[in-house]
């Protein structure tokens, strides 16, 4: 981290132009943390602009009812001007500026005071002036709440802030099914409920608002595209652009699909490959101690967490899948098999 002794409260008080940035393909935690922080700063009398590199899913739009979020891809000049003018930039839910795609260069060139709030492995400390980064938490939204409590004032968390933070926590834990073993998370959730988060309505807004074509696309993935490699405890799904267009793909439609592959008994490693304009996006998931972060780093120019990571490949889809299939036996021998052997396969009391 750069040499600085300015604390968060002072940085906010002194700021004249504040920008809040989320990562490429912003998910529930990215939108929840950035919008939650925007509303929190508003409660401190400070305006801020939220900018994402690209579009985000329809089922998260309720967090920005005024449509205030700026998408860099499509509003480049305006976003560049805001970044150049900013003297305080918050980077939420990513660990290195490179996760912001085309925004990487303007953010790197900006001389603004940069604050990182995140929960990914390996934060690029030299890119930020102040870091609140911890991998043991469920989500950036949980880390943001802790940071508000430690550095600012939880009284600033009103219903809007609480609702956004709850949204990020529930999406990043798969509705409280992973990354949520610690009781402290549930104490924070209880405080968010006390401060106005309506958990039932938030779940309905996020998880019960898919289009019929998204459901057909999911059905197609599971019925026609799921490849199981039982001897390696591995399963994967892939989609090319033609298939995505056939099902009228919209941003966010593929969120969570990889988890279905991981839901198979005996599968500890799941992958999902999607063809994009200039690359193949790779999503990786694992169970228990099996670490996919390192696999994403080594083989797919990516990273993330132990149980959820992602990256990109710059070959054709078929070449990527063939390479993945060649990598799996070795990954099984060195990672899946030994880590699985350490745990009984079925949970018992």
Q: Which of residues 81-110 bind ligand 5GP (CB under 6 A)?
A: 99
Q: By C-beta, is 33 or 320 nearer to Mn ion?
A: 33
Of 46-54, 74-82, 152-160, 302-310, the window that binds ligand 5GP (rule: CB under 6 A) is 302-310
- Least spacing, CB of residue 72 vs ligand 5GP, in Å: 17
Question: Does residue number 123 form part of the binding site for ligand 5GP (CB under 6 A)?
Answer: no
Q: Name the burial class of residue 61, with classes exposed (0-12), middle (13-18) and buried (19+) by CB atoms within 10 angstroms of its CB.
A: middle
Residue from 164, 165, 303, 324 touching ligand 5GP (CB under 6 A): that is: 303
Question: Does residue number 29 form part of the binding site for Mn ion (CB under 5 A)?
Answer: yes
Q: By C-beta, is 15 or 270 nearer to ligand 5GP?
A: 270
Question: Does residue number 172 form part of the binding site for Mn ion (CB under 5 A)?
Answer: yes
The residue to which tokens 């040499």 are assigned: 3
Beta-strand relationship, 280-286 and 269-275? antiparallel
Beta-strand relationship, 18-21 and 49-52? parallel
- Least spacing, CB of residue 286 vs Mn ion, in Å: 16
Question: Does residue number 49 form part of the binding site for Mn ion (CB under 5 A)?
Answer: no
- Least spacing, CB of residue 173 vs Mn ion, in Å: 10
Of 34-42, 69-77, 202-210, 300-308, the window that binds ligand 5GP (rule: CB under 6 A) is 300-308
Question: Does residue number 305 form part of the binding site for ligand 5GP (CB under 6 A)?
Answer: yes
Q: By C-beta, is 15 or 238 nearer to ligand 5GP?
A: 238
In eight-state DSSP terms, residue 256 is T
Cα 98 to Cα 122: distance, rounded to the nearest angstrom: 13
93: alpha, beta or left? (left if phi > 0; alpha if psi -120 to 50): left
Q: By C-beta, is 18 or 179 nearer to ligand 5GP?
A: 179
Please report the DSSP string for 43-101 in residue order: HTT---EEEESS---GGGGGG-TT--PEETTT-HHHHHHHHHH-SEEEEES-SSGGGGG
Other C-beta atoms lying within 10 Å of the C-beta of residue 176: 13
Q: Name the burial class of residue 212, with classes exposed (0-12), middle (13-18) and buried (19+) by CB atoms within 10 angstroms of its CB.
A: exposed
Q: By C-beta, is 246 or 299 nearer to ligand 5GP?
A: 299
- 283 membership: H or E segment, kind and range: strand 280-286
- Least spacing, CB of residue 24 vs Mn ion, in Å: 13
Cα 238 to Cα 317: distance, rounded to the nearest angstrom: 8
Contacting residues toward Mn ion, per CB under 5 A: 29, 93, 139-140, 172
Contacting residues toward ligand 5GP, per CB under 6 A: 99, 120, 283, 302-305, 308-312
């Amino acid at each position: 981290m750069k040499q600085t002794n300015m604390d968060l409260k002072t940085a906010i008080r002194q700021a004249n132009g504040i920008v809040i940035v989320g990562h490429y393909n912003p998910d529930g935690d990215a939108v929840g943390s950035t919008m939650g922080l925007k509303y929190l700063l508003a409660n401190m009398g400070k305006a801020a602009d939220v900018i994402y590199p690209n579009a985000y899913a329809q089922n998260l739009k309720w967090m920005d009812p005024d449509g205030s979020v700026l998408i860099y891809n499509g509003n480049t000049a305006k976003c560049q001007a805001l970044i150049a003018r900013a003297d305080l930039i918050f980077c939420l839910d990513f660990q290195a500026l490179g996760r912001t795609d085309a925004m990487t260069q303007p953010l790197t060139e900006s001389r603004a005071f940069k604050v990182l709030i995140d929960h990914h492995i390996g934060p690029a400390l030299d890119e930020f002036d102040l870091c609140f980064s911890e991998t043991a938490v469920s989500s950036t939204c949980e880390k943001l709440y802790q940071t508000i409590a430690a550095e600012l004032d939880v009284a600033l968390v009103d219903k809007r802030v609480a609702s956004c933070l709850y949204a990020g926590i529930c999406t990043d834990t798969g509705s409280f099914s992973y990354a949520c073993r610690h009781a402290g998370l549930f104490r924070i959730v209880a405080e968010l409920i006390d401060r106005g988060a309506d958990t039932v309505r938030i779940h309905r807004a996020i998880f019960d608002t898919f289009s019929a074509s998204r459901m057909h696309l999911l059905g197609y993935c599971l019925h026609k595209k799921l490849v199981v490699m039982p001897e390696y405890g591995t399963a994967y799904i892939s989609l090319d652009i033609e298939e995505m267009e056939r099902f009228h793909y919209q941003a966010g439609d593929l969120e969570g699909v990889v988890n279905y592959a991981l839901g198979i008994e005996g599968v500890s490693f799941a992958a999902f490959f999607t063809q994009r304009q200039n690359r193949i996006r790779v999503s990786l998931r694992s169970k228990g101690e099996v670490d996919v972060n390192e696999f994403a780093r080594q083989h797919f120019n990516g990273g993330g967490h132990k149980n959820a990571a992602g990256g990109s490949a710059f070959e054709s889809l078929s070449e990527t899948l063939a390479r993945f299939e060649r990598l799996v036996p070795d990954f099984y021998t060195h990672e899946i098999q030994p880590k699985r052997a350490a745990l009984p396969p079925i949970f018992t009391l």
